[in-house]
Structure 1
Amino acid sequence: MNQTLSTILNHRSIRKFTDEVIEEAQLSHIINAGLAASSSSLLQVVSIIRVSDKSKRATLARYAGNQAYVEQAAEFLVFCIDYQRHAAINPDVQADFTELTVIGAVDCGIMAQNCLLAAESMGLGGVYIGGLRNSAQQVDELLNLPSNTAVLFGLCLGHPDQNPEVKPRLPSHVIVHQDQYEPLDMNDIDAYDSAMQQYYATRSSNQKQSKWSTQVTGKLAGESRPHILPYLNSKGLTKR
């Protein structure tokens, strides 16, 4: 196995960091790795807000659901869909198509994953913060985002101060279908539930008893940030 595969397959979310800073050269490599990511039609519809102001960090941690590592991490990057650049170049740009929001979300995810992998390759760690969308409008106002631009998620980066176990994933044959969509075999889910229960029971911190299937379907059975659509609409996105 080469070093790239090893880095990818050993990914863990890091939520506890030392006080050590990330060197500017390291951060530059991380950002450049993100910029090198694939971009749909080379539209390049992502903006990254590097938040260093301590007061804003504390506010963002609160907006994200009191996630302290937003404030404590060496670096905090906020990834945004951004069509304002394009509208500034050409006022005829129509950014309100849902397809363009999908493209922006996809490209943000690709860019952010490049950034995180670059960081992990240098011995750093991180965790994504989707909780910013709990208070999307407030985050938007704090970061002074213009029209045609919307917050998606944050990324904490820093030197790890923990060494969590790798969390099991669904087996590849459940995810990868051959030539057509195949029906789910509940035996695979039962086996994965057992693996996750074993993981939760034996991991070094935050041990618990929980079935993956019960946990995720329970989450999906409730509301999922219903304020996001009106927020995106207010930014001139996802209107048609």
Structure 2
Amino acid sequence: MRNNTVDLLQSHRSIRRYTDKPIPKVILEEILTSAQWAPSSHHVQAYSIIVVDDQEIKKILSEVAGSQRYVAECQVFLVFCADFYRLSLASEMWDTEFEVDEVENLLVAGVDTALAAENALIAARSYGLGGVMIGGIRNNPERVKELLGLPNYTIPIMGMCLGYPNQEPWQKPRTPKEVVVHYNQYLPKEKIIEGLELYEEISSDYYKRRTNGARQEGWTKQMAQYLSNPRRVHLKDFIKKQGFNFE
């Protein structure tokens, strides 16, 4: 049974072109409040949000993110950070040990951050805004840290462009639900392969039509190529320098 919330969720598209219309402050505040009401493991709330509306900072972040011009062109750019700095201060206040060097803590922070970001995007869309997540801020986390004054125990996870849409992009088809949703036990390999082969046909047709034949490879081929090389190997050292001394 469909309703307005389901319609909103299932109509997601990444928006990369925006009008010049500013985002009213009252709406931005509601978006940020909505982000804070995302679920959080053990109520740790291990994230922070940096609101960037300074044009010069957005321009530099655009370059850091791989010359993605929409970072500079959007009305507001949000940077979502995994954040244990605030929690380190809580430990100082009560003179307790700060045992942060566990993979579990990093997972908690990453999940908390992503949930807050998704809440923010859904809230923004409910007000007629559009947005796109930007993982490119992890290209140079040291530069992002310097620009935004990030302290120890913080990691920039993703950015988010927000603005009023000035485009109506096609909606990319998703992986068949039959190979994503499993009941009681994970599906056998052959069933997964069947679904991937079907998705290759569907996604290949999508890209052919969208690009008038200029691009023809489907999702499975794209992902095979994407995962054939290591990516952002510098992040491990950055995370350690930020105070997370994982072995």
Q: Same fold (TM over 0.5)?
A: yes
1:173 paired residue number: 178
Following TM superposition, by how much is the alpha carbon of 1:207 offset from its aligned partner in structure 2, in angstroms? 5.8
- Higher alpha-carbon deviation: 180-189 or 23-32: 180-189
CA distance in 2, matches of 1:156, 1:238: 31
Identity of aligned residues (%): 37
2:154 paired residue number: 149
Following TM superposition, by how much is the alpha carbon of 1:133 offset from its aligned partner in structure 2, in angstroms? 0.5
Structure 1 gap segments, 5+ residues each:
none
Q: CA 1:62/1:166 → structure 2, altered by over 3 Å: closer, same or farther?
A: same
Report if aligned partners of 1:98, 1:238 keep a CA contact under 8 Å in 2.
no
Q: CA 1:73/1:206 → structure 2, altered by over 3 Å: closer, same or farther?
A: farther
Q: CA 1:206/1:29 → structure 2, altered by over 3 Å: closer, same or farther?
A: farther
Following TM superposition, by how much is the alpha carbon of 1:183 offset from its aligned partner in structure 2, in angstroms? 2.5
Following TM superposition, by how much is the alpha carbon of 1:137 offset from its aligned partner in structure 2, in angstroms? 1.3
Following TM superposition, by how much is the alpha carbon of 1:173 offset from its aligned partner in structure 2, in angstroms? 1.2
Residues 1:226 and 2:233 aligned together: yes
1:239 paired residue number: 246
* 4+ aligned runs moved over 6 Å, structure 1: none
Report if aligned partners of 2:207, 2:218 keep a CA contact under 8 Å in 1.
no
1:28 paired residue number: 29
- Higher alpha-carbon deviation: 143-152 or 178-187: 178-187
1:65 paired residue number: 66
SS in 2 for 1:90: helix
CA distance in 2, matches of 1:107, 1:221: 29
1:108 paired residue number: 113
Kindly provide the CA deviation profile for residues 20-73 of structure 1, in whole angstroms up to 9, marking residues without a partner as x.
Answer: 111111111111110110011001111000111111111100000000000000
Kindly provide the CA deviation profile for residues 148-188 of structure 1, in whole angstroms up to 9, marking residues without a partner as x.
Answer: 11111100010000001211001111011122222233221
Structure 2 gap segments, 5+ residues each:
none
CA distance in 2, matches of 1:46, 1:206: 42
Report if aligned partners of 2:78, 2:159 keep a CA contact under 8 Å in 1.
yes
SS in 2 for 1:38: coil
| Letter paired with 1:23 | P
TM-score (norm 2): 0.93
Report if aligned partners of 1:46, 1:81 keep a CA contact under 8 Å in 2.
yes
Kindly provide the CA deviation profile for residues 54-102 of structure 1, in whole angstroms up to 9, marking residues without a partner as x.
Answer: 1111110000000000000011000001111111121322222121111
2:206 to 194, 199, 204: 199
| Letter paired with 1:149 | T
Note the aligned Cα RMSD (angstroms): 1.5
Q: CA 1:200/1:144 → structure 2, altered by over 3 Å: closer, same or farther?
A: same
SS in 2 for 1:237: coil
CA distance in 1, matches of 2:240, 2:49: 21
